[in-house]
Amino acid sequence: MRIRDKTISKERTRATNALLPLARARRADVSNAITGLVLRQIHQSIVEEALHTERTLRVANFAFSLERLDDSESLKCFCFTKSDIYRITRLMEWPCSRNVTARRRYRTHAVLSFCVLCRRLGTVCRWWDLEAESGCTTSVLKEFYEALDEFYSKFSTLVSVYRQSFLSSKAATYAAEVSNAGAPLDKCVGFMDGTNLYISRPKGSAQHATYIGHKRRNCLKFQALSTPDGLIFHIFGPVEGRRHDMMVYRHSNIDEELSTTLCIYGTQYYIYGDPAYVIRPYLIIGYGGAFLTEKQKQFNKEMSACRTAVQWALKDIKKYFSHVSSATKMRIECTPAALWYFVSALLWNFRACLYGSQSATAFNCAAPTLEEYVATIPQE
């Protein structure tokens, strides 16, 4: 028994002696790893401090001035010429020097606020990229969301409210220009279609609600009504991407507006839409079915060529304000994606009033001036 205990004791001692070098090596490895981690953190903090100093100096040494740019550069950077930027800021009725936000006490010029807004929407850029162009740090630039809210509050009714008086005054002109462009309908005053704003895949139940099967992407859906002069007359949304265009039409309650307002002085005008909608006296759609006569096919062909006007306008929104065309930037959990789209539509209407549009050229129908367009804001 004693011999057995001695044997076990010797084996334990031998095993312990064999493990000692491994333990010492492991302690050395842990010590080296900790030392390396500390050195990396010190190096990272030094690099971040150097970058912060460089950014601070770069921003401090730059003062934004629109006058440094010529009209072509201003049009490229901000989608508007210098003189038109001043016109728009006057219409916005912002004071020359204004507080960017009530939460912070940053002060900036109204022109800078509008230029940052246009630059942010016109490019797929980060706030950091705008520091050298605006002379403001990222923390200041993020406060321009209040400028976005003010712009939308000022002009939102130009696209979110059905303006009967504006459409009634233009109905005869719109119908004549559409007919002169070769359309077989002589009382058509606008075109309706749905559009998708593609977004980054959300979390939770929103992932199923925003998923659109035939595109296999997540999106928000809007309904747009455009006129022959290239303006987006009315937008409704956002709605879950999986909804059908006709369901969006019912939710928008625009059917009631069209039924009561498009009969003008005894003449019934109407909107033209794709076959996804249901035919009404004030909403005309193309012929459907597999067995169509030659006249019906010709009608569909000619009206489809005219109906692309609404698609031109929707295309130009994403062309000139490409921030909303980037799905990775449209994250509904942390960004105001729908608000970005509404403001982009408003800015596109401003561009159509100032520089014309593809639809206005195709139908030979000029848009109103910027001041005339803004004057159509419904009065409360």
* DSSP 8-state secondary structure symbol assigned to residue 215: T
pTM of structure: 0.82
Joined together, the tokens standing for residue 34 give 């900790």
222, 237 Cβ separation under 8 angstroms: yes
Identify which has the larger pLDDT, 344 or 148: 344
Joined together, the tokens standing for residue 165 give 């008086």
The residue extents of the domains of the chain are 1-61, 66-155, 160-374
Tens digit of each residue's pLDDT (9 = 90 or more) over 116-167: 889 989 988 888 778 777 777 777 777 777 778 888 989 999 999 999 899 9
Structure-derived torsion over alpha carbons of residues 271, 275, 277, 281, reported in degrees to the nearest 10: 50
For residues 210-225, give the mean pLDDT.
91
> Measured between alpha carbons, how far is 28 from 43 in angstroms, rounded to an integer?
22
Closest to 100 measured CA to CA, from 131, 157, 139, 65: 139
> Measured between alpha carbons, how far is 167 from 152 in angstroms, rounded to an integer?
22
Tens digit of each residue's pLDDT (9 = 90 or more) over 174-207: 999 999 988 899 999 999 999 999 999 998 888 8
Share of the chain above pLDDT 90, in %: 40
Name the average pLDDT for the chain. Answer: 83
Structure-derived torsion over alpha carbons of residues 105, 142, 195, 225, reported in degrees to the nearest 10: 20
Query: Hunting for tokens 């939710």 — which residue is that?
Result: 251
On the question of pLDDT at 54 being above 70, the answer is: no
Joined together, the tokens standing for residue 344 give 């982009």
